[in-house]
Structure formats: C-alpha cells, structure tokens
C-alpha cells in the first residue's frame, strides 16, 4: 500500500494518509489553497501510476499462485467481499468529512467576516 504523493501549489509538499481501509490504487493528488479560508483543498489530477500498481499487484498474485495456489484463489474470492464490507465505512467517512467541513466553516465564519477580504 502506497501513500499518494501530493503536489502543493505553494512552497510545501505533504503526504496524504492512505485511503480508508487501505484499498484502492494510489494516485497523484494536487492541493490547491483556498484563498478565502487559507485551507488546502485536495483535488485528484492524474492517475499515472495506477497501471504500475495494478501490474505489481497482479505479479505478486501470480507469485502467490505459484507458491500457494489455494491461498491465491482464496484472496481472489475474498477481495471483492472485503471491499463490499468496507464500502459503508467509506461512505460514512465521506459523510463525516462533509459534516466536519461544514461545522468548521460555520464556526470560523465570524472570524472570516471580521478579518475582511484577503489581498493575494
């Protein structure tokens, strides 16, 4: 499991945590700073290495198939079941992230109004 690289359009670079449950391919993500709030918003821009990650995963599965074929077949059957079991947690994570973002915006609204417009 790889941590996606983040390109920050400022002077800093950062790392994002892995996806919820650790499933899914890694991707390049670009961070754009919101000039009104000063917070960074992460936007997916390209998935260059998705093919490489998929190929490496397939090759590892082929090696497992050669070394221990029952375990490889079991992994092949269980992967979609585990993915389906973790799907509600991903949906809850998206919903909680949205609610916390809204709560943060409501709490910081008076400070942003009093601060006035920012000049870039």
Q: Tell me: the pLDDT tens digits for 20-65?
A: 444 444 444 444 444 444 555 554 544 667 778 889 999 999 999 9
d(CA 44, CA 24) in angstroms, rounded, equals: 14
Q: ∠ CA 102-107-112 to the nearest 5 degrees?
A: 100
CA 58 vs CA 16, 31, 61, 65, 88: distances in Å = 25, 30, 5, 10, 26
Q: Tell me: the pLDDT tens digits for 88-113?
A: 999 999 999 999 999 999 999 999 99
pTM above 0.85, yes or no: no
Cβ(45)–Cβ(34) below 8 Å? no
């Amino acid at each position: 499991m790889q941590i996606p690289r983040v390109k920050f359009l400022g002077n800093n670079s950062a790392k994002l945590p892995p996806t919820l449950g650790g499933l899914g391919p890694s991707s390049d993500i670009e961070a754009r700073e919101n000039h009104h709030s000063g917070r960074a918003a992460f936007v997916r821009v390209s998935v260059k290495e998705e093919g490489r990650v998929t190929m490496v995963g397939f090759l590892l599965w082929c090696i497992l198939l050669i070394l221990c074929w029952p375990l490889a077949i079991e992994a092949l059957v269980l992967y979609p079941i585990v993915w389906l079991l973790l799907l509600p947690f991903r949906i809850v994570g998206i919903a909680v992230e949205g609610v916390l973002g809204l709560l943060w915006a409501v709490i910081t609204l008076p400070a942003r109004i009093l601060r006035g417009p920012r000049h870039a």
